[in-house]
Structure 1
Amino acid sequence: MEGGKGGSSGAATAVRAAAAAAVAATAATATFGVMAEAAASSVLPRVCIVGPPAAAVLPPVAAAAAAAASVVVVIAMATAALFTIDLKSGYHHIDIHPAFWRFLGFSLQGQDYQFLSLPFGLATAPFVFTQLIKQLSKRWRRHDIRLIPYINDILFISATGAEALHNRSIIIADLAAARFVVNFKKSQLAPSQSLKFLGLLLDTRTTTFS
């Protein structure tokens, strides 16, 4: 994925420099500690990088989060219609350049593997994925679609249920065109005035959250 202009370009340069340092600091194939995280909603484990070398070499980069102030604005919009979209295995949508596969290797139950897509647990993963989502967010905001993105979870806010359905059709089409996979089980696609987002119960009827 190419870096954007300005700050994004500088951050991409920093990531490339850190990767170059990893080349000098590690062997041709690195062995990682991994954590198999069994999600409550799935029978399949999620493999996350939890240790050096690359996880230690690549510095964490700040990624914009959904601010509490944004949530306050949402609940203040009395009778607003809400829906959410969850992108399945978010980071795995981003391919890793083949030259860097060897630095994302790990051993699990005696078998060696390499990540070919952006792994969970890598310090720079939230920033990289957020930069990608920002491009879609800009497009939607040009269509006057209000949203609060947080990594692979996105809250959409519409004035009415009819507007929400119209916006949803645009968003689903854009995600499909960009080859994003929507997790329909975790998404709340039916417009509602009360739903959960990032663990908070939002209610635009009572203009409260808990």
Structure 2
Amino acid sequence: MSIRNSKFNLKEEKIVDIEIEKLLKMNVIQEVESEINEFISPIFVRPKKNGEYRMILNLKELNKHIEYQHFKMDSFESALNLIKENAYMSSVDLRHAYYSDNIAEQHRKFLRFVWKEKYFQYSCLPNGIAMAPRLFTKIMKVVYASLRKMGYVNVGYIDDSLLLGDTELECKNNVTETVNLVSSLGFIVHKDKSVFTPKKCIKFLGFYIDSETMIVTLPVEKQDTIAKECKQLQSKNKCKIREVARVLGILISSLPAVEFGKLYYRKIERERKLKH
């Protein structure tokens, strides 16, 4: 099956050229010859928070052919349940986490795209494939189980993990052992996004956790986003269901830091369902 790319403007073309060159050097993709029974997916570019761009393989069609397998992933609430009062916390973020997992040779032909009449395929786990969160979670559970045997308490969500310790020294040792272990397994620690120094207030998965007050709060920028989105919705006489759903999604994502938050959005959710 082959799905071609949409048209790109000159800026986007340059971004794709740069990204392909980068991925080739990282051995994440490889140039290949076309063959029968391959699956060609389209690519697109998406801006990142730091102003850079990421090239994405659109695997929407391929995902329709992948059987969903249920799995349990640790949630933000899972992390909160492990935090004791006055605990010390650190975090370790993995860079290009999915790229650490190689794809079997015989399956790479299903992860192909075409650019300027050249064929490329992913040799590592790409972002966007339906099975990626499950596969990576299963791999990391083995890592965290090994650390638990050493006496350390960690909780992970895909490529981000929260490290805990009753004392500052215990948390420091947790950081050292975690970094050593994941590095020995071939993962790359993202030093800029990780917090190696133990703290009693830390940002994790978009929330601030304070072990002294045992309170979870939203960053100011997220508070501003919620207020802005709600005001824009209120200012409209009519709005599309998808606009309401998007704002509801933002509200729901903030619930861990908003006491009685569910009471504020349930009425909107009921009305959305009635008019859907």
**Fold-level similarity (TM above 0.5):** yes
**How many residues in Structure 1 have an aligned counterpart in Structure 2?**
183
Higher relative contact order (CA 8 A, sep 6+): 1
Q: Residue 140 of structure 2 is aligned with which of 117, 128, 133?
A: 133
Asked whether the 8 Å contact 1:195–1:203 carries over to 2, the reply is yes
Distance across 2 between alignment mates of 1:42 and 1:190: 27
SS of the residue 1:62 aligns to: coil
The TM-score with structure 1 as length reference comes to 0.80
Distance 1:46 1:141, change over 3 A: farther
Q: Aligned runs of 1:182-193 on 2, under 5 Å?
A: 182-193=189-200
> Could you say which structure has the larger radius of gyration?
2
SS of the residue 1:87 aligns to: strand
RMSD of Structure 2 on Structure 1 (CA): 1.9
Could you tell me the percent identity over the aligned residues?
Answer: 21
Amino acid at match of 1:132: I
Displacement of 1:110: 4.7
Distance across 2 between alignment mates of 1:60 and 1:42: 34
Q: Residue 34 of structure 1 is aligned with which of 43, 58, 80?
A: 43
Distance 1:117 1:48, change over 3 A: same
Q: Residue 64 of structure 2 is aligned with which of 56, 59, 62?
A: 56
1:86 matched to 2:104? The reply is: no
1:198 matched to 2:213? The reply is: no
Distance across 2 between alignment mates of 1:93 and 1:42: 24
Distance across 2 between alignment mates of 1:111 and 1:73: 50
Distance across 1 between alignment mates of 2:118 and 2:71: 33
Displacement of 1:39: 1.6
Distance across 2 between alignment mates of 1:63 and 1:82: 27
Amino acid at match of 2:67: P
Distance across 2 between alignment mates of 1:60 and 1:27: 26
1:71 matched to 2:76? The reply is: no
SS of the residue 2:147 aligns to: helix
SS of the residue 2:46 aligns to: strand
Q: Deviations over 1:111-132 (max 9, x none)?
A: 4210000111001111111111
Amino acid at match of 2:177: I
1:124 matched to 2:137? The reply is: no
Amino acid at match of 2:113: F
Distance 1:138 1:71, change over 3 A: closer
The TM-score with structure 2 as length reference comes to 0.62
Displacement of 1:68: 4.4
Displacement of 1:70: 2.2
Q: Which has the higher helix share?
A: 2
Asked whether the 8 Å contact 1:34–1:51 carries over to 2, the reply is no
SS of the residue 1:57 aligns to: coil
